Structure 1
Amino acid sequence: MSFFPNAHNFTINNGSFANAAGDVNYNFHGKLEEQDYAGLKVLYQNAVQGAFYNSEQRFPPPNCHPGTRTQVLEILRNWITDVADSTSIHWLYGAAGVGKSAVAQTISEEFAASHLAATFFFARADPSRNNLSSFFITISYQLATSPTLGPLLKHPIDLAVRDNPSIVHAILEEQFRDLIVLPCIWLTTTCRLTTEQWKDLPRLIVIDGLDECDDIASQERLLSIIRKAKTTTPLLPFEFLICSRPEPRIRNAFRHQDFHSILDYTDIGESFKSGKDIADYLRDEFDRIRREHGQSMAHIAEDWPGSGIIQQLVQKACGQFIYAATVIKYVGDYDGFPVERLEIILKITVHDNFDSPYPDLDLLYMQILSVCPKTELFFDVMAHILNPDGTFFDKHYEQTSAIVLEGLFFLPKGKVWALLSRLHSVLLIPENDHDNIAVRHASFIDFLTDRKRSGSYFVNTEKGAQHERVLFYLLKIISSSTIDNWKYERTQSEFDDYACTFWDAHFRNIGNSPSSRILTGLNQIDLCGLLNATLQYKITTSAYFIDALQVVSIISKVLSIGPKFIGLSFQSVRYSSLICYP
């Protein structure tokens, strides 16, 4: 195996590597091959696999349609392959839905076997990919397992984790130093790897969707870490392609004077003939839909829907590939007749007083949502899919799979499929119950969480509202489980367990004015039975008991029922029973 496929006639000293006739062998003093790489196993357990460019979780990933985005791709190809280029960071920016992620994906795939070192694709709706907590862990794991970089870097990276396993929980700056910077310095100093030799190795790190990292301060923090690493001696050998919207804080961070000499940037917009690219994409995709729908489209002309209609759609798109992609997914749905679905889209008109930065996209989203039930349940489920992060006291319940949704929302099996069946054009809905349901594009989240844009389709994802939703359905679960004279009988359902363990914690997070449906739900539950269920299920200590009792006391005041607690007997610290009479 050749670790330096483009390098010739060099030697790395200190006996770590030897180059003979182009083939590099390594032994790290005869011990490396005997190691089990326990440190890399720790990294694997903490890395975000869904952030990789080839992750199954992201399948099918966005990609540039053949023949489109040619100018932007050529700019990036030249930047990546030009070793004489002094700029080591390239910022690709543009508005929502113009195709930044598709470009990042295409570049990652194209250079996977040559220049690509690692990737991280952020996603606002994915709790594991909307923050920086595992960012450097994920990057370093990819460096250590790279076919080319791995034989060089996995030893120092593995050693760093074995020497300090808590590094995976350390602050970002320490993770970056110990897992990326120091291993690279080790190669440069101990193994005498030169700058020129580094240039023959994969050095491209692709970061997509930085603006989808929820904490804005974290976005600036990451850029600051990268900037310092690229302007401080010894220089970090990697190059960074960073894709994002031009949000003010990101734009301001890139204005730092130290970025001036190392930063190149490209605005992906109308200047790159996006209108022509969108027209080509629509033409090819409509042809595919016509062929795949067989008999139902057999009588339709081969040039359907015609150049005039395609130009109408291009004008509506306003440079947004996400508009065109959503149209194609909506029209091509196998449950509908493409001709009728296209007519529905063409009849959508923007009124003069419709105030939105993306009017046609918003109206398209409204049309897609119009066939869904405007029920309380629908909006509650959508709220969980949009932003489950940080709501639950056990991260397992932040999943958005059908099995978790049906358990949390007290639904019969198959109900989630029926509830979301008309949303395949905006949601990625797996064909099984265990994989997470995800939003196809961040612009749909932006639309639903902006009351001014979405109107009656607005989804409130603020934490107080999220806790209120969870509590409402936990009370439903408890109501069905609390039976037989206030005695809670344990079931095998993990959702029953969570409900009886954490209902009171969610109640504390909804504020002093419970909603009408929470009040209705509490009125339908016997508080003594509720308290018994809580105390019997928890590992009961006096603190737990007092907490639960305080919550019930607050509820009693809210409901103005004032139950009288006659006696309390503790059978043990773990199990307690409350004897109460109304």
Structure 2
Amino acid sequence: MIIFVDAIDECDDKELMAEFIEIVADAYRGNRRLPLRVFFTSRVEEHLRKKLEAPAARSVIYHLALQDFDAANDIRKFFQHRFATIYEENHRLMRDVPWPWPSHTDLQALVEKASGSFIFAFTLINFVDDGADLPHQKLPIALAAHAGLDPLYTEVLSTAPRGEVLKRVIGTILLLESDLSVTSLGHLLQLNTAHILQALLGIQSILMIPGNDDEPVRLFHTSLRDFLMSKPRSGGFFINPPARHLDILLDCLKLVGIPPDTDILFRGEASEYACINWCHHFDQWLILGNEPHNDYLTSYLTNFASESFDYWVNTLLVKGSLGDMLEMLDRILLMLKQLPSCSQGLLQTMEDIQEHVKVDVSGLRKTAVCYVDYASIYRFQLVDVSYAIL
């Protein structure tokens, strides 16, 4: 049996991935007759390289350097197949375009530009076939681009309709702690689903836009996130992580600042995301930006604490997230207290929220709590949830 673990460099928890590699290597050193093999794929990342190339691991790990593999023929076949499909599907529009298309010279130029990178080849094909213009008119633009994904990303973003909605939507997608469906993304941003889709259609060659609104928008490759979050690389398309985390924090607080009409907790993917993750975006804003200045934040937090606190706590209890939230609040307050520029109003509001959460956690440790959600006639034993957070 072969177990494939693909793209381990894209996992956020670096320590956990390094520990996982170490555990696998230790298992094989202890028993070389294990009836399975583990196949890792990854870009070269320092925390992974240290574990994979450690002396203790070398005896059981075989390294295959893909940069030494010539993928030119495979990429040429990929191009030939995809361009032939584009030609067939657009035969009425391309009736005057001679076959073979592209020419052998252009095809070779594209293969050389790809430099062995399938993600470049894949993105280039999507760019040519995105429907924004005739494929044979998009091809010369692709041929003129410099090698590498950055120029291609720049070209796609340059030809897309630019606006605040696009920047807000793509910035949110890049920084969400977990994926949201298109519908839920609209709820979080308080945008119509159609407006989100309209904003993204111009860049569908670099984003996976689902055919169903109940599914999330995803990146074709994490290199897009790296590109957009590096100002020297992306220039005017730069997504400022601290500013975007603050925007998402405010969006979360606005959403949960309005209590449910007939329920005792928040329901729905977007509302549950906001309940569980607003502190995460607060934390990241402070870590990356370190400037707790915003005219709306204290006001939104005060409204949230006065109008929706109990509903928020109920939601965290059902989701088993109250203990994690308390740890996050402790960390945020520690950072705020170390910042001389932090306003007293913001600090006091966060201290009040933390204190009320501590009271609720303390109460759960002492009593068995049970409630009935009459809206759905469903019973939750919160005492069971409380054990998970102690």
Flag whether TM exceeds 0.5 (same fold).
yes
Higher helix residue share: 2
- Closer, same or farther: CA 323–508 of 1 in aligned 2, 3 Å: closer
Residue 468 (structure 1) aligned with residue 266 (structure 2): no
Counterpart residue type for residue 124 of structure 2: V
Alpha-carbon separation, structure 1, partners of 2:123 and 2:273: 38
> In structure 1, which of residues 322, 325, 341 is the aligned counterpart of residue 119 of structure 2?
322
Alpha-carbon separation, structure 2, partners of 1:216 and 1:366: 29
- Closer, same or farther: CA 219–305 of 1 in aligned 2, 3 Å: same
> In structure 2, which of residues 201, 205, 219 is the aligned counterpart of residue 439 of structure 1?
219
- Closer, same or farther: CA 435–315 of 1 in aligned 2, 3 Å: same
Corresponding residue of 2:57: 259
User: Partner of 1:206: helix, strand, or coil?
Assistant: strand
Residue 249 (structure 1) aligned with residue 47 (structure 2): yes
Residue 420 (structure 1) aligned with residue 218 (structure 2): no
The answer as to whether partners of 2:246 and 2:282 remain within 8 angstroms in 1 is no
RMSD, aligned α-carbons: 3.7
- Closer, same or farther: CA 342–499 of 1 in aligned 2, 3 Å: closer
- Closer, same or farther: CA 237–340 of 1 in aligned 2, 3 Å: same
> In structure 2, which of residues 81, 89, 109 is the aligned counterpart of residue 292 of structure 1?
89
Aligned-pair CA distance for 1:328 = 0.8
Alpha-carbon separation, structure 1, partners of 2:60 and 2:276: 50
User: Partner of 1:237: helix, strand, or coil?
Assistant: coil
User: Partner of 1:273: helix, strand, or coil?
Assistant: coil
| 1:122-201 matched pairs, under 5 angstroms | none
Corresponding residue of 1:213: 11
Aligned-pair CA distance for 1:212 = 1.4
User: Partner of 1:344: helix, strand, or coil?
Assistant: helix
Aligned-pair CA distance for 1:207 = 1.4
Aligned-pair CA distance for 1:380 = 3.1
Alpha-carbon separation, structure 1, partners of 2:57 and 2:260: 63
Aligned-pair CA distance for 1:434 = 0.9
User: Partner of 2:130: helix, strand, or coil?
Assistant: coil
The answer as to whether partners of 1:467 and 1:507 remain within 8 angstroms in 2 is yes
The answer as to whether partners of 2:227 and 2:234 remain within 8 angstroms in 1 is yes
The count of corresponding residues between Structure 1 and Structure 2 is 318
- Closer, same or farther: CA 216–399 of 1 in aligned 2, 3 Å: closer
Alpha-carbon deviations, 1:128-172, whole Å to 9, x = none? xxxxxxxxxxxxxxxxxxxxxxxxxxxxxxxxxxxxxxxxxxxxx
Residue 341 (structure 1) aligned with residue 121 (structure 2): no
Alpha-carbon separation, structure 1, partners of 2:281 and 2:21: 38
The answer as to whether partners of 1:408 and 1:473 remain within 8 angstroms in 2 is yes
Corresponding residue of 1:383: 171
- Closer, same or farther: CA 531–252 of 1 in aligned 2, 3 Å: closer
The answer as to whether partners of 2:3 and 2:38 remain within 8 angstroms in 1 is yes
Aligned-pair CA distance for 1:382 = 1.8
TM-score, length-normalised on structure 1?
A: 0.48
The answer as to whether partners of 1:331 and 1:342 remain within 8 angstroms in 2 is yes
The answer as to whether partners of 1:403 and 1:433 remain within 8 angstroms in 2 is yes
TM-score, length-normalised on structure 2?
A: 0.69
Aligned-pair CA distance for 1:414 = 1.4
The answer as to whether partners of 2:208 and 2:218 remain within 8 angstroms in 1 is yes
Alpha-carbon deviations, 1:93-120, whole Å to 9, x = none? xxxxxxxxxxxxxxxxxxxxxxxxxxxx
Alpha-carbon deviations, 1:399-455, whole Å to 9, x = none? 331011100001023121111112221111111111121111122222222332222
> In structure 2, which of residues 29, 38, 47 is the aligned counterpart of residue 240 of structure 1?
38
Residue 363 (structure 1) aligned with residue 134 (structure 2): no
The answer as to whether partners of 1:293 and 1:334 remain within 8 angstroms in 2 is no
Corresponding residue of 1:372: 160
Percent identity for Structure 1 against Structure 2: 27
Aligned-pair CA distance for 1:536 = 6.9
Unaligned runs of 5+ in 2: 315-328, 337-341, 347-390
User: Partner of 2:239: helix, strand, or coil?
Assistant: coil
Corresponding residue of 2:379: none
- Closer, same or farther: CA 538–555 of 1 in aligned 2, 3 Å: farther
Alpha-carbon separation, structure 1, partners of 2:301 and 2:222: 42
Corresponding residue of 2:261: 490
Alpha-carbon separation, structure 1, partners of 2:273 and 2:71: 50
The answer as to whether partners of 1:384 and 1:400 remain within 8 angstroms in 2 is no
User: Partner of 2:159: helix, strand, or coil?
Assistant: coil
Alpha-carbon separation, structure 1, partners of 2:271 and 2:15: 36
Alpha-carbon separation, structure 2, partners of 1:504 and 1:448: 23
The answer as to whether partners of 2:2 and 2:37 remain within 8 angstroms in 1 is yes
Alpha-carbon deviations, 1:207-260, whole Å to 9, x = none? 111211223322321111111100114853211222112323323322233333
Alpha-carbon separation, structure 2, partners of 1:207 and 1:236: 17
Question: Larger relative CO (CA 8 A, sep 6+): 1 or 2?
Answer: 1
Aligned-pair CA distance for 1:303 = 0.5
Corresponding residue of 1:567: none
Aligned-pair CA distance for 1:498 = 5.8
Higher strand residue share: 1
Alpha-carbon deviations, 1:278-323, whole Å to 9, x = none? 2232222212111111311122112112011112222222221211
User: Highest Rg: 1 or 2?
Assistant: 1
Corresponding residue of 1:80: none
Counterpart residue type for residue 236 of structure 2: S
Corresponding residue of 1:406: 186
Alpha-carbon separation, structure 2, partners of 1:506 and 1:262: 39
User: Partner of 1:296: helix, strand, or coil?
Assistant: coil
Alpha-carbon separation, structure 1, partners of 2:238 and 2:176: 16
